Structure formats: structure tokens, C-alpha cells
Amino acid sequence: MSDFKIAPSILSADFARLGQETEDVLASGADIVHFDVMDNHYVPNLTIGPMVCKALRDHGITAPIDAHLMVKPVDRLIGDFIEAGASYVTFHPEASEHIDRSLQLIRDGGCKAGLVFNPATPLHYLDYVMDKLDMVLLMSVNPGFGGQSFIPGTLDKLREVRQRIDASGRDIRLEVDGGVKVENIAEIARAGADTFVAGSAVFKARDEADPHRYDSVMRAFRDALAQR
């Protein structure tokens, strides 16, 4: 597998300069913009919503935006993110009253749909919905904050989901989110992930030579993936 995608989480960007930061990280080679939505209810933190997603589109960001909804209830915000220009909309199954309906709402709006699993959320939520998924996102930290350490048990869970995706024969991305670093990305890729969210590891590693570039950390991620 060589179709690896790197998705910097703008949670760790400078929010006062969000448009420029997003441009800079994409110019440095990022593939996807990971957009963390927290509601101070499902998770104990409060971040950004659809207006900010739309502002990034209006600013000229054309790359895929991966809206990771850590909100409860889910369904009303799905419509808002579709309107705001999200490309992927993912949600936590235990935060939705009707998982199948939420997935269908996302796809009916022309977006790609994904389910997100916290470290202790069982994988049985995948049963009966594989045909409605474009992405499975495994959290490798408990959701709510950037800058936490990767939980090693995620590796076994990744292997299990990789088997399920391959057995399904479907085109479903396997994303991992939380504590992804240059030092552990190869091991995470070997366990089956193909899409890597990295927040603090990217935005704390601005190039010394140019404050608008993240080239060296992006190159280090690519090199680690090439040598996995």
C-alpha cells in the first residue's frame, strides 16, 4: 500500500492565523485538513464549527477537509458541515441515536462518511454499515485534546480493522488520530493505517528557515512511511 495521506490537525495551529497556517501546511505537502469539532458536552473542550470550515473554503482552501465531529447530538451539525464545504464528515457512533441514518445523511449531502472509535469503543459498530463507510477513524488517544500520547493498544485494533476492510473489498480509508509522531508513524502504517492525523507533531515543528513552511516535518513523515 503506498497511498498514504497525511492530515495535519489544525487544532494545534495558530487559530489567530488559521487561513495562513492551513495554506502553509498544505504548501508543505499535507494531503488533507483535519478539522476537530468539540462541543464541551460529548468531549470536555470547545473548538470550532461550520462557520470556520466555510471561512477556510472562502479563504481559498481547496484541499479535502476532514471534519471530525466530537459532538452530541450529531445529525443537525452534519447538514451544517455539508453546507460549509466539508469533504469527509466523521462521527462517534455512541454520539448518534441512529448510526445508519447519520451515515446516510452525510452521503446524501455528497460527503464521504466515517465512523470514529475511541480507544475503548468496541468495533461491533462496524457491523451492518460497511457498505455506507468511506472511512474508519481509530482514536489513539481519548478525544478532547491535542498533544496526548499514542495508546499502544491501538495497533492491535488497527490490524483488526485492516482485516475487516480488506475482507469487505471496499474502498475505505483507515485513519488514525492522536499522538502520531515521526517516531511512530512507520509502526502505525505497518499495523494497517493509511491516513495519519498529526496535530502537535506538525504545528510544533515549523521550519527554522521559513516560518511559513512545515517542509522538514512533512518530509520526515514521508521518509518514515517509505521505510516502514
Ligand X SMILES: O=C(CO)[C@H](O)[C@H](O)COP(=O)(O)O
- Residues labelled catalytic: 36, 177
Helix (H, G, I), strand (E, B) or coil at 71: coil
Q: What is the DSSP secondary structure assignment for residue 90, as one 8-state letter?
A: E
Q: How far apart are CA 128 and CA 150, in angstroms?
A: 29
Q: How far is the CB of 152 from Fe ion (least distance, A)?
A: 19
Residue 177 within binding range of Fe ion, rule CB under 5 A: yes
Contact 63, 86 (CB under 8 A): no
Residue 66 within binding range of Fe ion, rule CB under 5 A: no
178 is in an annotated binding site: yes
Q: How far is the CB of 128 from ligand X (least distance, A)?
A: 26
Residue 11 within binding range of ligand X, rule CB under 6 A: yes
Stretch that binds ligand X, among 25-33, 79-87, 119-127, 143-151 (CB under 6 A): 143-151
Q: How far is the CB of 206 from ligand X (least distance, A)?
A: 15
Q: How far apart are CA 156 and CA 50, in angstroms?
A: 34
Q: Shortest Cβ contact with Fe ion: which residue?
A: 68
68 is in an annotated binding site: yes
Residue number with CB closer to ligand X (113 or 188): 188
Stretch that binds ligand X, among 5-13, 158-166, 207-215, 217-225 (CB under 6 A): 5-13
Cα dist from 137 to 30, 133, 192, whole Å: 18, 11, 12
Question: What grid cell was written down for 45?
Answer: 473542550
Cα dist from 92 to 51, 113, 184, whole Å: 21, 11, 25
Contact 68, 177 (CB under 8 A): yes
Residue 77 within binding range of ligand X, rule CB under 6 A: no
Give residues with Cβ within 8 angstroms of 100, minimum separation 6.
128, 129, 132
Binding footprint of ligand X, residue count (CB under 6 A): 22
Stretch that binds Fe ion, among 23-31, 34-42, 101-109, 179-187 (CB under 5 A): 34-42
- Write down how long the chain is: 228
109 is in an annotated binding site: no
Q: How far apart are CA 158 and CA 174, in angstroms?
A: 8
| Binders of ligand X in range 157-176 (CB under 6 A) | none
Cα dist from 20 to 6, 87, 104, 211, whole Å: 18, 20, 34, 11
Residue among 68, 92, 173, 206 that touches Fe ion (CB under 5 A): 68
Residue 141 within binding range of ligand X, rule CB under 6 A: yes
Q: Give the residues lining the site for Fe ion (CB under 5 A).
A: 36, 68, 177
Q: Give the residues lining the site for ligand X (CB under 6 A).
A: 9, 11-12, 34, 36, 68, 141, 143-148, 177-180, 197-201
